[in-house]
A and B are shown apart, each in its own frame.
Chain A
């Protein structure tokens, strides 16, 4: 791009003057208030609670409200192993959530079955719901979950992840 191309001038103007497109404003609003569903499955849920508590404080990113009703939630953090019996319940909760909605597969078990490579568990929650961000760790420490959450924020801010 040349120093005085129209695109660069447009970007410069946008930086100096408070103008934006509706799409970008909506994306900004969405990424700043992602409300997770309060829904924990196993030991990862303990780390998820810790992420929301005072020390790590997910509220700094506008996500302090863990909604008890999936109809008020935007994000499902699948925190823990999903057994074959739990799979239809999980799908049901996902279907009850309103668009736009996102899913974080937190930890090894939710991402791909982890250490439990057996018939009792779903080998990766992406077999039943579409997953946006995978977080590795067993369980991931609160910072690791927050790192995954910030990756999701970036994705939402770029207008991605809508289905």
Chain B
């Protein structure tokens, strides 16, 4: 009989824990409706940033291509001409592609970039129905207006 009593108390203690959790707010994040906030230094999708006056920062030096451990970046540089001055250096990126399926989001490209052109944003919603749809080209990567990526367009690097 004492064994039965002991077991009943153990059972009730177990239910007490269940009951306590019943009145706590749920821990579940309602993801598609409520976007969870990521850490401020989260490394998400890339942006090619602009200066405050709208000139592209990328000078087509291909240092990000060299440093990328998974060879996810392709850059084809072109010379700037007096008629068509795209960036502030001698060259600019004519083609700039990042394969999001190759990229491991390590941030080396961001560190290597001498003009601070390439930055990692906060967006993590990267999925697609085909492999080709996740190769981001220059129009997709370049921020639509200075500061669209969330970085200060007036910063030095």
Contacts and interface: CB of A to CB of B under 8 A. Distances in A.
A108 B104 contact: yes
Interface in A116-150: 117, 124, 126, 132-138, 140-144, 146-148, 150
Q: How large is the interface on A (under 10, 10 to 19, 20 to 34, 35 or more residues)?
A: 20 to 34
A134 B70 CA distance: 18
B81 interface: no
A76 to B, nearest CB: 16
Contact of B101 (A57, A111, A147, A151): A111
Contact of A112 (B69, B101, B124): B101
B122 to A, nearest CB: 11
Contacts, number: 90
Interface of A: 54-57, 60, 108, 111-115, 117, 124, 126, 132-138, 140-144, 146-148, 150-151, 155
A76 B33 CA distance: 25
18 contacts: A54-B27, A54-B28, A108-B70, A108-B102, A108-B104, A111-B131, A113-B102, A114-B70, A114-B101, A117-B70, A134-B131, A137-B105, A138-B103, A142-B31, A143-B36, A144-B125, A147-B125, A151-B128
Contact of B104 (A54, A114, A146): A114
A139 B100 CA distance: 12
Contacts of B4: none
